[in-house]
Amino acid sequence: MWRTGLLISAAVHLVLLGWGLITFSTSPLDASDIETLPVEFVEVTDLTELDLGKESADTAETPSPNDPTEKTAETPPQTDQAGEDDPAPPPPPPPPPQESASPADAPEAEAEAPAAEAPPEAIAETPSEEPPPVTEPSPPQAAVAPPSPRLRPDRPAPPTPPAPETPEASDFNAEKIAALIDRTNTGAAQAPSEAQASLGVATGRPDARMTESEIDALRSQIQNCWVIPTGWTNPREVSVTIRFGLNRDGTVAGMPEVVEFPASQYGQVSADNAIRAVLQCGPYALPAAKYDQWSVVQLRFTPPG
Amino acid sequence: MDGVTETALVSPVSHLSLISLFLEADIVVKAVIIGLLLASVWSWAIIIDKAILYSKMRKQMDRFEKTFWSGQSLEELYRSLSGRTPQGMASVFVAAMREWKRSFEAGARSQFGLQSRIDKVLDVTISRETGRLESRLLFLATVGSAGPFVGLFGTVWGIMNSFQSIAASNNTSLAVVAPGIAEALLATALGLLAAIPAVVAYNKLSAEAGKIGGRLEGFADEFSAILSRQADERGE
């Protein structure tokens, strides 16, 4: 008699277990699928450089009376700020060489423009050494280069118009004043308009290339300290983006900040480890002249290989 | 890779399934889980068994009471029932009738002795019947009270292990701890799974057994009264 009860009970348990195996295993999989987020490579953008770019863009506007030309010239600088798209890069590079060759005034204007906001050292160096870096994008000379290339992409419009007008010194000053005045306006206007970011990258590239190499060095230095959590299958599962400020002596200022980390089970660990790596690997040897560029660094950590 | 610490961790489970949870559990946790599963199977076996037994018993008693009060003579009823092994109320009736008949066949005339003998036979039969009804119910009570504790023990043990794995890996991420904790909680879940039905069924079944036992006793008293009246009539 009790055998029937035992049989029924065992059968029901088996059925329930089987059902549990099916349902229990599938539900978490769905959740993990939803959570994985594709993440793009994020470049470092410097606020000071953006400001410089605006100044130049304004000067370009004032000299050139034609609206269409101006707009074309302006659009690149705006994109500079948020610039993160790849398609644009090809067009911007051409302008820089032209600038370096033609306008003698351009370097001066650049030198003065950064002077307002950049450290004194940078100003002293920029006028003397600028011409060479313009032609050569080599990283070692980057100390001087960053400000100049920055301006170049924005410049494309200004150089061409001013070239004929170079003789007039007075006009040039007026433009600069106008540029200073406009800068505030454009700055306010540009901030919200990040939608045009795609073009910005294009202009940003020549500038960024210099900084990028140093940023790469910084990244590799930090990445050596980064303990990647084990067990991941897709690099995305552990890739994190960290933003942190740096002091002039290369030490980390404040607490690094996680910009984004994947929603995988390793994401949080990976982000924590990355922050730890940033804090432990300092201080970093970076060119003091370009402090404006690396005062705030945003790095994306991806597992090597 | 630089600085990657290889530690004897519970390797992170890519997807948590019941089987992987079980397979990666510690041996103690495994034992607890298996024990609780067996307890659950066995307690459900008892529950089903008893539920069937009680419903049968109730039907049987209803049938017997109907025939008993139908006016049929006791001798006739006794003859029809004594052939097969009687159960429940019938067994009480048969036992008492047997004692009654034996007493008269032996020619015993002591009224008092007969009555006390019949009462004793009735008591013994009733206690045998109720013992049969309540057998193995205690297992349900045990599972109901001890199951959660056993499960909790498995959980505590599993969580202890996963904390040890944290200490070993210097990694405080949930990914390291989560599988261990999930395993551990599985033990508590099974403990509750076994205990809850056991407790509910124990309360229900023991109440039912008590009711059936009460009915048997009521019938025994009634029958004892009938027999004693008959003895009085015969004695005179």
Chain B's closest residue to A11, CA to CA, is: B41
Residue in the block written with tokens 């599963």:
B37
Query: Does the beta carbon of A230 lie under 8 angstroms from any beta carbon of chain B?
Result: yes
Query: Does the beta carbon of A303 lie under 8 angstroms from any beta carbon of chain B?
Result: yes
Q: Answer yes or no: do B17 and A229 touch at CB < 8 A.
A: no
The pLDDT of A177-187, averaged and rounded, is: 54
Q: Any idea what the Cα angle at residue B208 is, between residues B203 and B211, rounded to 5°?
A: 130
- Asked whether residue B15 is assigned to any structural domain, the reply reads no
pLDDT band at A2 (very low <50, low <70, confident <90, very high): low
Query: Does the beta carbon of B38 lie under 8 angstroms from any beta carbon of chain A?
Result: no
Per-residue pLDDT at A104: 44
Amino acid at site B97: M
- Asked whether residue B138 is assigned to any structural domain, the reply reads yes
Per-residue pLDDT at A283: 80
Helix (H) or strand (E) holding A300: strand A296-301
Query: Does the beta carbon of A272 lie under 8 angstroms from any beta carbon of chain B?
Result: yes
Q: Answer yes or no: do B175 and A229 touch at CB < 8 A.
A: yes
- Asked whether residue B20 is assigned to any structural domain, the reply reads no
Q: Tens digits of per-residue pLDDT, B149-171?
A: 999 999 999 888 888 888 888 77
Query: Does the beta carbon of A6 lie under 8 angstroms from any beta carbon of chain B?
Result: yes
Q: Answer yes or no: do A2 and B49 touch at CB < 8 A.
A: yes
- Asked whether residue B18 is assigned to any structural domain, the reply reads no
- Asked whether residue B139 is assigned to any structural domain, the reply reads yes
What DSSP line would sit under A87-134, residue for residue? SSSSSSSSHHHHHHHS-SHHHHHHHHHHHHHS-HHHHHHHHHHSHHHH
- Asked whether residue B3 is assigned to any structural domain, the reply reads no
If DSSP codes are grouped into helix, strand and coil, which group holds residue B171?
coil
What's the number of domains chain B is made of? 1
Output the CATH code of domain A209-301. 3.30.1150.10
- Which residues of chain B neighbour A272 with C-beta distances below 8 Å? 172-173
Is the preceding omega at residue A283 within 30 degrees of 0, hence cis? yes
**Quick one: tokens of A126?**
């920029």
The domain of B231 spans 26-235
The verdict on ipTM greater than 0.90 is no
Per-residue pLDDT at B88: 82
- Which residues of chain A neighbour B56 with C-beta distances below 8 Å? none
Task: Indicate whether B71 pLDDT > 80.
Answer: yes
Q: Tens digits of per-residue pLDDT, A86-126?
A: 444 444 444 444 444 444 444 444 444 444 444 444 444 44
Nearest to B92 by CA among B82, B101, B83: B82
Q: Outline which parts of chain A fall under CATH 3.30.1150.10.
A: 209-301
> Testing the interface with A: which of B132, B140, B176 to mutate, by most A Cβ within 10 A?
B176
Per-residue pLDDT at B205: 94
Task: Indicate whether B179 pLDDT > 70.
Answer: yes
Looking at residue A140, the DSSP 8-state letter turns out to be G
Nearest to B158 by CA among B133, B186, B136, B128: B186
CA distance B183 to B185: 5
Residue in the block written with tokens 């991806």:
A302
Per-residue pLDDT at A180: 62
CA atoms within 13 A on the CB side of A167: 1
| Residues A44, A215 contacting (CB under 8 angstroms) | yes
CA distance A148 to A112: 11
Chain B's closest residue to A21, CA to CA, is: B18
Per-residue pLDDT at B76: 85
CA distance A84 to B224: 100
Chains A & B: contacts with CB separation below 8 Å: 98
Task: Indicate whether B91 pLDDT > 60.
Answer: yes
> Testing the interface with B: which of A2, A269, A270 to mutate, by most B Cβ within 10 A?
A2
Query: Does the beta carbon of A265 lie under 8 angstroms from any beta carbon of chain B?
Result: yes
